[in-house]
Structure formats: structure tokens, C-alpha cells
Structure 1
């Protein structure tokens, strides 16, 4: 007998598909993939058979895939062997029965090579390896998967998988068993029971791709109408879960399926729930059909043909008469009324509404709200007011939501004065309602009550704050030029992304690591035993999606800084500038923000923090402007320990100004010899009057110290440099004044008076268009007054009256 058959011919099978099937099968048999992965790869679908595969022609008008095509997709895995391969399989089974297992196994593998998705060889191989549980299970799973559906076989394999503690495989087996026999409720229950046990032990059930709600939905779809009680039970369970997950379409699907299968089992309560679902999905016509079929409502209608302006024709249903059975529950009456409202049956609505208004508001207030919402939605505001007026007059419904409906209805009716009062009622009950704030502002603004309108936008910062409302308030305040209030509200809005610093250490963390600064600050506060958030921090509504764009936040930030500076709110200016360091939204403007911080620090005389910024600017942008600012800050801070920084600053690109900086630093710290060294170096390279004056001052200060010898020589040297300064400066008033000060310091009063008199006789130092006249006359006169007051008070008084009296 020839064991090599001819190549089989499978209709619809391509060579590429055959190769893929062979590859997948070999991977599964070799243990490279699990059965779950194997089935997913083969059919490209989840372990859980999609509930959408159930025919829903009765539920939807357009179907994504015809039923016949879906059936073909499921049946394609069961292929018939060619006669030659059937003969080979018969021979393999005969060899197995005779005990020649080795030859039988070889024949089976030969068939698998030619037909990898035929079930027969796997069935035989499972019997051959019955003593090897692992291999037998693998072949049985493949055989079952490729065979026509056999529910009992899948249940047997599920039991084996359970013994092996293979949860995922067990779930697949139950799912396949349900597919084979969908009407067997016991199989459905076993799968749900397995899910419940897994949830109890906190197993990650999401990996199984099966959920309880899908199981419930599957039961509703699969069971026959004869099991109406079970269908209705699980339809309600599925609808509850779908509703909690906001899957409204699924809620409608499962309840519609249950209704079509067992409408007679629906109680009035069930029908009420189903109608509520239909109304939520705007299926008003379907609701009327249910009212007629199951509730006993009689409706007369006529079809009208209407011609549109464009020439097209459409049909409109005109509802003429409605008869309601006695004793119909009030909630069903309200739903019938809602349906007629949306279907524009105006005459019936008026009749039914008059009947409905006879009911007690205390008991049926919620239904009043449902009907009012429908009336307002279609523009019947007058009728809506008939429902709202009784509600707001009832203490049980004195609520913000009711007053909001009342206010909106009044506004739509054009009764703006009454609407204002109702909106105030809304804010009394719900102070955080942003839309009520905004609408009230618009009405008051329209009436010209601007101050009152602006007050309505104000929020209580102790409560949760709306960022959108803060932005609207900013726009309004800017529009009416209320700049200080605009500054306050704008800062509150920016605080959503800005951080208020409590300590210098926090600012250091934020400055050095801006991207992770906020997290580091919160960790720092936690380590200190503090709360990460301050009790005065604003708490924004986390459910609100409003957010300023990067450009909007930057524009607002710069504008607020300018306003704070113009109105001399320097502390606010500095707080804003420091807060901008932390905002990730404007991180691209980091360099400009740092410069704003420097300006704010200089204006507030906060030189300690100013030094943090100017040292960065001096390194990045060396030049006269940076050096002048650096010198201003260094001379203003209390500590003079900047010599190392100054040395590093000019280490890369040497500049002679380094000597001037270091000389000033050492002079201020009392190290006069070192200062004199640097001043002399600078003077050798730049013979400027400033360097000569600094040298003279340093030498004269040394001469005044007891720790130095040869005071006379030092005084002579100092005066010599003062004369050099006088020649280089060429400004008589200034030089005479400085020389007079030097002589006064050493109590050489006759020379001091002589030079002061010369200074008084000179013209002013300079005249500047921006700063006015720079004149030392008053300073000179005051020093002369000091020299004369003890020994010649009349002369001292003369200088006071001539130069220092403001007329």
C-alpha cells in the first residue's frame, strides 16, 4: 500500500493560509503557544464569542454582516479530507487498533502536514497518547476546535483544564461549549460561577476577555422564549451593569431582546423601566407601540403627506386621540406625555398636561421635572412654566436644580427681571454653579447694572473654584478696566499651574529642576511633616476640562506683571514671577520669566534672591549691562562672599573688569591690601578717574586704620591719587567735593572748607534730559554746615538758609 497520497484539494484554501496554519499548529504542539493564543491567532477573535454575532435584525435596521456570512466564518475550520487522505486515516486507525502505534502516529502526522486543520488525525493522536495526559489534552483540544461543535467534548475538556488549574483554557472550553449548545443554561451558569470564584480570589479576569455582563447578555440572546423568567432576570442584571458603565446602547439592546422574546413576562414595573430606557434613546414611536400593546392605551393617528420647500415629500404622523385606561400609574402617564411632547402632538399634550397637573406636587415632583425638561427641549416654555411654578413654591423642591430650570425658562420667555431673582435663588442653593453665574452676569450687564454684574462672577475661594468662571471674570474685569481686581482674579486663575513657595529651600528645588519641581516640593514638605497643600490654596474643580493654552497663560502672566508694576503692587509682582518658574505650560519662556523674577527682586530690594538670577545672566550674557546689575546686587547684599564666583565668571573669557569687581568685593569685606592690588591692576590697564578714586579711597581708609604703619605716607599717597583723579575726571564740582570729603575725614578742616567752597562756586555736574540736573550743591552746603555748627553757628546758619531751605 502506498502511504503517500496525492496533494489534497481544499476549496477556498490558499497556499499562504496553508503555510500559516501549519506554522501555528506546529507552535502549539511544540508548546510555544497556549491554546488560547492559538485560537486567537487562527480566527483573530477573542476567547469570548462576541455577543454582537447574534442576529439583531429585529433591533437595528442596518446590519454590519449578514447572518449567512457569519455562519460561514464559524464553519470554515471544519474541512473534509480528500478520499486519499480519508483512506490514509482509515489505515492509521486500523494500525492503532492492531497495536502498531508508531506507524499510526506517523500516518497521522503525514495527514497533518497536508491538511493541518482537519480534525481526524488529532482525534486519533489523542487516543494514541492517552497515557500521556499533556499530549492527549493538546490533541483533544485541537480536535475539538476543528470539529463540528460538540458541547459534551468541550465540557469534558473544561473539567480536565480545571484539574490542571488552567483557568484561561477552562474559560475557553466553557465558551466553546456554549457556542455548541447555546440553549443549555447549565453551561452558562458554570461559566458565571467560574467568573465569580475568580473575582473572589482577585484573579485578573480582564485577561480572560470574558465579563459577567457579556455572560448575562449572552444568556438573554441564546435562551428560547420558553425560559422567559431566566431571560428577564439576566436582562435586568446586564442592563444594570451597562447603565453603571454608561453603555446606554447596550442597555437598549439587551432589554429589547428580552422584550421581543418574552413581552408577556414583563410586569408594569419592567415595562416602566424599559420605557425609560427607550425614552433616553429617543425611541418615542417604539414607546407608543408598547403603550398600545402592553399597557392598554388606545391611540388614533392619521398619516399626513407634507411637501417640503425643496419639492421633496415626507410623511408625518398626526396623533388625533388618546384613551388611557383607568388606574394607569402616574409614572407611566408621565412617560406617555413625554413621548407625545417629543412627537409634537400639541393638542394631546395640552389635554394630558391639564390632567397631570391635578396630581399632588409633593408626591410627583420628580415627574414634573421630567415633563418640564421635555417641554423646554421642544420650546414649549409657557407650558413648562405651568410645571415649574408649583415646584418652586413647594418646600420639598426648593432646590438649586429646580430654580435653575425656572430661571432658564423665564429667560427664554423674555421675563429677564423675574429670571434675575430665580438665578439668585440658584446661587443661594448652589454657589459653585458656573453657568448660573455667567448667565446672571449677562442679564445684568445687558441691563447696565455693571457693578452688580461683576459681583455675580465672584467665587468663594474657600470652596471648590471653577477655572472657566475665573477666566470669564478676568475678561469682564478687563473689559470694564477694574485692573486691581483683575490682578487678583488673574493671579487666582494662574495659581492652578503656579505654586506658592513657603521657604527659600522650596524655591531652590523648583529653580534647579523645573520639570520635577512640584513633586520635589511636595516631597520636601512631607519630609518636614507638613501638608503638601496649604489650607489657603485654591481647590479647582477636577471634573472641569477648561485649561488655558500655553500662549493664553503666557499673555495673561505678562499682562498681570505689568499691571502689578504700574500699580506698585511689588510683592504681588514678585509672587507672580516666582510662581511662573513652576508652570510647565510656559516652560518655553523660562529665560524671560527669570528676568521678570530679577526685576521683581530688584524693585523689592530682595537682593539675596536677585543674586540667584543675576549670576545666571552674567554667565550667559556677559557685558556691561549684566555687570552693572551684578555690581548693584553684590554691593547691596549683606554677605560679601562672592570672590570665588567672580573669579569663575571671568575665568573662561578674561576681562579687565574682573579686577574692578574683585577690588570692590574685597574693599567691602575689609581686605584692603587685596582690594588695592586689584584696583592697581585695573588702573594700569585702564587709566580711568574711577580707578584712581577707588585707589585713593582704599589708601585713605588704610591710613585711618590703627593696624597700618606710616600713616603720613599713606595719606600723601592717597592725596596723590586724588589729584590724579581730579586730572582725569575733569569735573570740578565733583572732584572738589570728593577732595573736601577726604580732608574732612582726616579732620583737616581748613582744607576741607576750601575745597567745599570751590565746589559751591562751580556749576552742576551735568544735566540729563531723563534724570534732570545732577548737582552736589546741597550735599556740599550740608557738609559745610557740619563743619561750622559747633564753632561758628552764624556761618552755619547762613549756609542752611542759602542752600538748604525749601521755599
Structure 2
């Protein structure tokens, strides 16, 4: 191959050649369109969007094109030269053309393919093949596209192909052809207009252009940078259009670039309004030295300056411009004066600025207040707060500028000057105009806290929940409340903060709905709709969307647990339940699902919501059958008002013959009044384990049955029941408890003399046990009360004796 492809190494050169062959072969085989093929070569459909590149491309020779390829993860940027055929291949190409002229198309085609096989990036064989296939519109078009791409840039050829593509309604490749034609003849305005006309047509028909690397503003920008200075009027027209579009999308630097390109070519066409807009863009993009050049060349400002050599922080010698004097025309508009001041401020010409500032301050504040603010902002950003104050004082004294933004600048300037007491007053003026301004509240809090006014500082952080809330300020309020030990207020504000990511309940009924495992949020929304409410954001807190504050998943979880701890320690059980149920509906719940469910269970128990507590303990006991879960299940079952757990217990122990199965089922049937079934389960358990609890439960079941009128042989049942009570007494080996329970049994049977005897024995015994956590476990008071009940009707004196001896607090 004759042409050289420069690259960083021989290996890269070989890679580039391989890429050329692969891309070309894919295109020829129909595996990619020409738009995709060109995109692979150029890295986009219009790689000339940058102004500097646009100028360079317009000066590039016609036999070169800039390429940017990714090879093996490395980016290669080079210029591909027009590939020339070797002498042998040139001869073969001539023979192919001769065969084509003679009508021997088959041989000519074979020769072209042979040349392509040896040198796939040469344009000549594709040009001939396009003519050979002129009766096949699709093949001829593809070969023409490839030939145009590989050959010396020819705008007319690209335009010819674009016309063909227009008839085929292949808009994307048509746009690509116009782009290539623009590169070939960047000074030709007609080509630019053809591309713009196509773009306008596509926009009108709402063609999807989002995935195209071509926009109207890029076309305008290209026109400005491509046309010669002789087309000044056209350049200015499209420069203003591009500037407007760039400014609308916030691309200030690009707006400045396009105006700079226009100014460099036709500065004489700039009106004073254009100069003002251009300077504003330059200042926004911090090109202050360029602004000074514009002032000197276009506004007739004379500046005296000297070049000084100084050492920078790296001990390197560099040049620094020292501005000494400035002569300003008397008729210069005040907005241009303010921009000149801003430029000198940022360029460090402080002494010159002081001189110019005196003249600037003579302007009427009523008319030039906005310009005062611009200059003040330049002073503040460069740390010259004393000078900034000279501009702020006239503003705050003027009723037209009694605004929150002005007072905020005034307060910040005072704070930076160390005048904190004055700054407090100014910050309060800010809050008067903008009560929900987060920065003002935040800075005022810092000053008040520093001065020891803690209560006032904490009150400043409080936001009105009826309006839009700033979440970052809410979090800072939580930290401050925690720091100064305000737990209940911390709980209130923390719950408000968590509603940003958790559901906030409006009605008590929504807690029950949230307790459901699936569809909680959707059911709550349906419930609100049924009540005639808006499911979203009607009464909920509204957070500021512009604030990007967001707790990480771990931090939010730790914050949530801290709130639960505060709620629990201060017995705010309703809040605890509300928080835990909200977390259950969170999208992050799967990560901490088990923990959240247990917190919900605890909150339900503490809040006496036993129905929901039973739902959670049901799930726990199915997943983890342990002594603790069975104890919790038993606790909840005993607290339930309704007997709705029978079927669940039957299913729970249907397959698993757990040691507690008989006790649980027996107790369940006992409480539901099915004494014979309960007795069956208690006897099964007693036969296996011979424990005192089982003997006691058997005795209770039999004695309850004996008390029923529908049962025969009452005396026989009573004897059996008391027999099991004696068995219980022997197995329990705890005199106070066993005597107390024996007394209760006889009292229930109305055998009061024996009841009194056993109660007296219980009183004579010591306490049951000592517990380090719960203290002494003793039945003395219960025993004495039962004796009081037995004696109060028949022997009041004995009743008083027990009352005063054991039951006086």
C-alpha cells in the first residue's frame, strides 16, 4: 500500500489498516449503513462542532480528513491521506475502465474487486462499480457513497448523492452528505442553507432527532465560523441566533465562543447593544482580559498599563499586567461602566477600581440598582468586602431594593467583615422577605449558636410544614436538636425528614392497611381515593426538589433506628408504630425486612395493637421456631380479645410435632371452651414429660368441667382434678406457689376451710425466688387478698387483720 497512515507506533498503524479493511468490508456486505460507516470513521456525524476544529477543517487540504478511532480501548487521532494506487494497480484500474467502456461489465467488475481486495480504501474501483451497477439503484448508491467518502472532497458529488437520498427519504444519510459537502466547501452558504432547510423540514414533521449529533445551533455556529469576513451581515445574523439558543440552554461558554468568532471577523458590524451582550457573555465565562481588549478596540476606552515580572508560588517568573490609569468617554452607558469595573476587579486592579468606584457611586440607585448588585458580587467574590459594603449600603436604604436577596448580600458581607451583631439583624430582614430561605436560616443559626443563644438558634431552624421544606436544613435541625438534647423535638423533626422517602400516614386506618405484606402502598392510595382525597401530596410534606440532599441507605437505616430508640425510651409508642410501618412500605425494606418486621411487632405490642402483633409473630414462628418465639406467640395469643388463632395453631403443628405442640393446642382449646379436647392434649404432654405445668393444666381442665351443670359425676371429676393438683404440688416443689394454687382450687370449689388452710400455709412460706432483673417474686399479697375475700363477709375482723398486715401500701 503506497499511502502511509501515521500513528503512535507500527502496531497502531497495522491496527488502523485492519480497521479500514473491516469497516469497508462490513459496508460492502450490507452489515452497516453508510451513516454507521462514517460514524465509525469520524466518531460522529459532525465532528466539527468545536469552533477551533471548524476553522482547522476549513483550512485542511482536500486530500486529508481527520479520523478518530478506538482500537483496543485506545483512542487514535490522525489524518487519513487520500489513498493512491500503486503503478501496477493503476494499470489494472485503467484496464478495468477500458473493459467497462467496451461493455465487458463482468470482467471490469472482477478487476475492480481484485483492486479492492488488495487496497480496499482506494476510491477508483468504487467509482467504476457505481457506473457498472447504474441499473441497480441501491448498489450504485452504496458504491457512490463509498467512493465519495474515500476520494478527494467534492461538494458537488456529495450534493448529487444527497438528492438521490432525498428521493428515497433516507434523511439521516442525506444529512450526512450535506455535512460532508459543508466540510468540502465551508464557505458555500448555499450548502449550509440546504442542511438547515432539511433540519427545519424534519423538525416540522417531528422526526426523532434526539439520537442525531446535529442541531440547529450547531448549523448556525458552523455558518459563523466558516463564512469569510465579506459575509459580515450573514455572520452577524446567525451569530445572534446561535447566541440566543446557547443562552437558552445555559451554554454560556459556547455562546461566548460564537460571538467571539463573529467579532474577530466583523467587529465593525457590532452595535453598542451587541457589544454589551458580548461583554456579558465574556464576563460570565470569566474572559476578563478579552473584555478589556473589546473595551479598548470598540468602546474607545484608553487604558494605561505596565507589564511586571513577578514570581509565582512555584518560584517561576511570569508576567503580570498592572493597570495604572483608565480614560472613559463621558457618554459611556452605565451598564458598560459596571462591566468595566467588574473586569478590573477580577484582574486585581484594586487601586484603579477605587478611583472608578467614586464616579460609579454618583449614579442614581433607583435606576442603577441592578448594576450595583453586579459590581458588589464581583467585590464579594474576590474578597473585597469593604468595597462591596459601599455598594450595599445605598441599596438597603432605598425602598425599591428592600428585597430579600439584597439583605442577604448585606448580611453575608457584614458577617465576612466580622460584624456579627449587625449581620444578625440583616439576616432577620432576609427572613422577613423570604421566610423559607434555607441559607439565611442556616447562617443565622451558626451566628446565634456561636453567641450562646441556643434556644433562639434552634427556633430559627424550624420550618413551616405548610410550605415547601428544605430537606438538608431539616437534617441539620435534627443534628442540632440531638446535640442540645431535645429528644421529643428531635423525634418530631426526624419523622418529618423520613417522610421524604417513607409513606406518611394520614389516618389510623392506614396503619392496619400498611400491615399487610403485599400491596400496602397501593391499598393506601385506594383507601384515600375512596375517602375522596388525593393519594399524593395533598396533606403530605412538600420537599424542595432543587435540594439534592439524600441520606445513604446505611445512614438512613441508622437514623431510623435512632428515632425508634428515642420513641421507645420516651414511651411514644404510636410514633414508634407509625415509623416502623412506614419503613415496612419503603422500597429499601427488602434489605432490612426481618429487622423492620420485628420493630413493627415490638411497636404493636407496646401500643396494644395485638391484632397486628399476632400477624407479625405468626410469620416469625413459622420461620424460626425457638423458645423465645413460642413465648412471644403465647403472650400475644393471651392478649388477643378475639379467638382467631385456632386454625393457625392447627396448621402450625400439623406436620411438626414440636414439644410445645400439645401445650399450645391444649391451652388454645381450653380458652375457647373445648375442655375435653384440651384435656386430651394436656394428657398427651403429661405422659411424655411429667412436668408440674401439665399436671396443673389437667387439674384446671377437669375442675372447670366439674363446675358445668351439663356434666354428670361432679364428685368423681372433683376427686380426679384434686388428685392432679396433688401431683402438681409434688412435682412443683415450691411451697408458696403450690399452696397458693391449692387454696385457689379449693376456693373455686367453695371448700373454704381447706382453701383457708392452704392460704395460711402459703403465707408461712418464704418468697418463690429472687430475680436480679425483676426483684423478689412473691405471692404474699395475692394470698392475703384472697383470704380477705373469704373472711370479709363472715369475719370482718379477720379480714381487716389480713388487710392491714399485708395489703397496706
- TM-score, normalisation: structure 1: 0.91
Counterparts of 1:636 and 1:67, CA distance in 2: 89
Counterparts of 1:551 and 1:23, CA distance in 2: 50
Counterparts of 2:14 and 2:357, CA distance in 1: 71
Counterparts of 1:522 and 1:209, CA distance in 2: 43
Look up the match of 1:347. Answer: 351
Look up the match of 2:165. Answer: 161
1:320/1:563 Cα in 2 relative to 1: closer, same or farther (>3 Å)? same
Look up the match of 1:35. Answer: 34
Structure 1: any 5+ residue segments left out of the alignment?
Answer: 1-7, 58-62
Look up the match of 1:572. Answer: 575
Counterparts of 1:246 and 1:782, CA distance in 2: 85
Counterparts of 1:296 and 1:790, CA distance in 2: 119
What is the CA-CA distance between 1:284 and the residue it aligns to? 1.4
What is the CA-CA distance between 1:233 and the residue it aligns to? 1.8
1:442/1:212 Cα in 2 relative to 1: closer, same or farther (>3 Å)? same
With 248-257 and 165-174 compared, the bigger mean Cα shift is at: 248-257
Q: 2:63–2:151: 8 Å Cα contact kept in structure 1?
A: no
1:768/1:168 Cα in 2 relative to 1: closer, same or farther (>3 Å)? closer
What is the CA-CA distance between 1:627 and the residue it aligns to? 1.8
For the pair 1:674 / 2:677, whether they are aligned, the reply is yes
Instruction: Give 1:75-114 correspondences, 5 Å limit.
Output: 76=80, 78-114=82-118
Q: 1:656–1:685: 8 Å Cα contact kept in structure 2?
A: no
Residues 502-529 of structure 1: CA distance to partner in whole angstroms, max 9, x if unpaired? 577876767646xx97578657866987
Look up the match of 2:730. Answer: 727
For the pair 1:751 / 2:751, whether they are aligned, the reply is no
1:392/1:34 Cα in 2 relative to 1: closer, same or farther (>3 Å)? same
Look up the match of 1:375. Answer: 379
Counterparts of 2:341 and 2:18, CA distance in 1: 64
Look up the match of 1:60. Answer: none
Q: 1:722–1:739: 8 Å Cα contact kept in structure 2?
A: yes
For the pair 1:736 / 2:739, whether they are aligned, the reply is yes
Secondary structure at 1:462's aligned position in 2? coil
Counterparts of 2:382 and 2:763, CA distance in 1: 91
Counterparts of 2:169 and 2:669, CA distance in 1: 82
Counterparts of 1:492 and 1:76, CA distance in 2: 63
Instruction: Give 1:763-782 correspondences, 5 Å limit.
Output: 763-782=766-785
Counterparts of 2:392 and 2:369, CA distance in 1: 10
Instruction: Give 1:357-756 correspondences, 5 Å limit.
Output: 357-501=361-505, 512=517, 530-533=533-536, 535-583=538-586, 588-650=591-653, 654-756=657-759
1:251/1:559 Cα in 2 relative to 1: closer, same or farther (>3 Å)? same
Secondary structure at 1:540's aligned position in 2? coil
Residues 751-774 of structure 1: CA distance to partner in whole angstroms, max 9, x if unpaired? 334433443444444444433343
Counterparts of 1:174 and 1:755, CA distance in 2: 111
What is the CA-CA distance between 1:742 and the residue it aligns to? 2.4
Residues 35-86 of structure 1: CA distance to partner in whole angstroms, max 9, x if unpaired? 2122223x242122422374589xxxxx999978994647736322233333
Look up the match of 2:286. Answer: 282
Look up the match of 2:240. Answer: 236
What is the CA-CA distance between 1:410 and the residue it aligns to? 0.7
2:43 to 31, 36, 45: 45
Counterparts of 1:100 and 1:675, CA distance in 2: 107
Q: 2:112–2:129: 8 Å Cα contact kept in structure 1?
A: yes
What is the CA-CA distance between 1:95 and the residue it aligns to? 3.2
What is the CA-CA distance between 1:778 and the residue it aligns to? 3.2
Look up the match of 1:804. Answer: 807
Q: 2:756–2:787: 8 Å Cα contact kept in structure 1?
A: yes
Aligned residues: 791
What is the CA-CA distance between 1:405 and the residue it aligns to? 0.3
Look up the match of 1:787. Answer: 790
Q: 2:63–2:153: 8 Å Cα contact kept in structure 1?
A: no
Q: 2:63–2:82: 8 Å Cα contact kept in structure 1?
A: no
Secondary structure at 1:51's aligned position in 2? coil
Secondary structure at 2:464's aligned position in 1? coil
Q: 1:497–1:582: 8 Å Cα contact kept in structure 2?
A: no
Q: 2:768–2:777: 8 Å Cα contact kept in structure 1?
A: yes
Look up the match of 2:9. Answer: none
Q: 1:53–1:70: 8 Å Cα contact kept in structure 2?
A: no
Counterparts of 1:17 and 1:321, CA distance in 2: 58
1:132/1:592 Cα in 2 relative to 1: closer, same or farther (>3 Å)? closer
What is the CA-CA distance between 1:743 and the residue it aligns to? 2.8
What is the CA-CA distance between 1:263 and the residue it aligns to? 0.8
With 86-95 and 434-443 compared, the bigger mean Cα shift is at: 86-95
Structure 2: any 5+ residue segments left out of the alignment?
Answer: 7-12, 68-78
Look up the match of 2:147. Answer: 143
- TM-score, normalisation: structure 2: 0.91
With 171-180 and 782-791 compared, the bigger mean Cα shift is at: 782-791
Instruction: Give 1:236-315 correspondences, 5 Å limit.
Output: 236-307=240-311, 312-315=316-319
1:319 to 319, 323, 332: 323
With 232-241 and 736-745 compared, the bigger mean Cα shift is at: 736-745
Q: 1:340–1:346: 8 Å Cα contact kept in structure 2?
A: yes
1:144/1:573 Cα in 2 relative to 1: closer, same or farther (>3 Å)? same
1:224 to 219, 223, 228: 228
1:778/1:520 Cα in 2 relative to 1: closer, same or farther (>3 Å)? closer
Secondary structure at 1:191's aligned position in 2? helix
Counterparts of 2:206 and 2:54, CA distance in 1: 35
Look up the match of 2:70. Answer: none
Q: 1:550–1:586: 8 Å Cα contact kept in structure 2?
A: no
Counterparts of 2:511 and 2:195, CA distance in 1: 57
Counterparts of 2:62 and 2:612, CA distance in 1: 75
Counterparts of 2:531 and 2:174, CA distance in 1: 53
Counterparts of 2:197 and 2:427, CA distance in 1: 54
What is the CA-CA distance between 1:432 and the residue it aligns to? 2.7
2:134 to 123, 130, 133: 130
Counterparts of 1:503 and 1:186, CA distance in 2: 72
1:523/1:104 Cα in 2 relative to 1: closer, same or farther (>3 Å)? farther
Look up the match of 1:170. Answer: 174
Residues 665-718 of structure 1: CA distance to partner in whole angstroms, max 9, x if unpaired? 111111111111111111112222211111111111111223322222212211
Q: 1:510–1:521: 8 Å Cα contact kept in structure 2?
A: no
Q: 1:182–1:222: 8 Å Cα contact kept in structure 2?
A: yes
With 247-256 and 648-657 compared, the bigger mean Cα shift is at: 648-657
Q: 2:51–2:258: 8 Å Cα contact kept in structure 1?
A: no
Residues 186-218 of structure 1: CA distance to partner in whole angstroms, max 9, x if unpaired? 211111121122122221113332111111111
Counterparts of 2:182 and 2:504, CA distance in 1: 62
1:410/1:114 Cα in 2 relative to 1: closer, same or farther (>3 Å)? same
Give the RMSD, CA atoms, in angstroms: 3.0
Look up the match of 1:5. Answer: none
